[in-house]
Amino acid sequence: MSGTRKKALLKVIILGDSGVGKTSLMNQYVNRRFSNQYKATIGADFLTRDVNIDDRTVTLQIWDTAGQERFQSLGVAFYRGADCCVLAFDVTNAASFKSLDSWRDEFLIQASPRDPDHFPFVLLGNKVDLEAQRAVSSKRAQSWCQTKGNIPYYEVSAKEALNVEAAFLAIARDALARESQVR
C-alpha cells in the first residue's frame, strides 16, 4: 500500500439557521434522497460518503447541526478537527443570509483553527428551485464571499439535487489541498 493512495478523512461541518436545508443537503448528497417533511435536527448528526479525488479515496464525514440557538453551544469537541465549514442559507430567506456572519464567527471561536484567515469555508445558497421567492441575489452572496477572503459560493437545491454533488466535491478538493499545504 503506497503512501499516495492513503485514505483521507475530512470532517465537514454544515452551519446555518434552522430550516435552511442543512439536513436536506446532506441527505441529498449522501443518500440522494429528498424529503418534504421537515424534522428539526436535535444536537448533531453525521453521515459519511467516500469520494475519489486524484487517485485517493476521501471519506467525507459531514456533520449536520441543529440550527436552533439553544444548540449553538454544541461545544468545542463538535467543532474541533473540522477540515472545512459549510455555511448554508436559504435564498428565499434574507434573515438566514444575515446570520451567516455570526455562524462564521461562532465557528472560528469554537474551532480555533491554526490559520483562521485561510480556513476553508464554502457558502451554499439553498432552495434556488424557489426562484420566484428569492430574497437574496447571487450578486449579494458573492460580494459577501469576497469580503471573507473569496470563499467559494454555490447556488444549490437539495430538492432538485442541483449543484449539490459539485459543491461537495469542490469542498473535498479544497480541504484536501489545504491539508497538504499545512504539512
Give the domain ranges of the chain: 3-182
- Choose among 76, 136, 150, 62: nearest CA to 107: 76
Q: Which residue has the higher pLDDT, 180 or 136?
A: 136
The structure's pTM equals 0.87
- Report the percentage of the chain scoring pLDDT > 90: 51
Supply 89's cell numbers.
Answer: 442559507
Number of neighbouring beta carbons within 10 Å of residue 128: 21
Predicted confidence band at 8 (pLDDT cuts at 50, 70, 90)?
confident
- Does residue 55 register a pLDDT over 90? no
Instruction: Tell how many helices (H) and how many strands (E) occur in the chain.
Output: 6, 6
What CATH topology corresponds to 3-182?
Rossmann fold (3.40.50)
Q: How far apart are the first and last CA of the chain?
A: 21
Q: What is the helix, strand, coil percentage profile of the chain, to 5?
A: 40, 25, 35
Residue type, 91: V
What pLDDT is stored for residue 160 in this prediction? 95
Q: What is the mean pLDDT of the chain?
A: 86
Q: Up-side HSE of residue 166: CA atoms within 13 Å toward CB?
A: 10
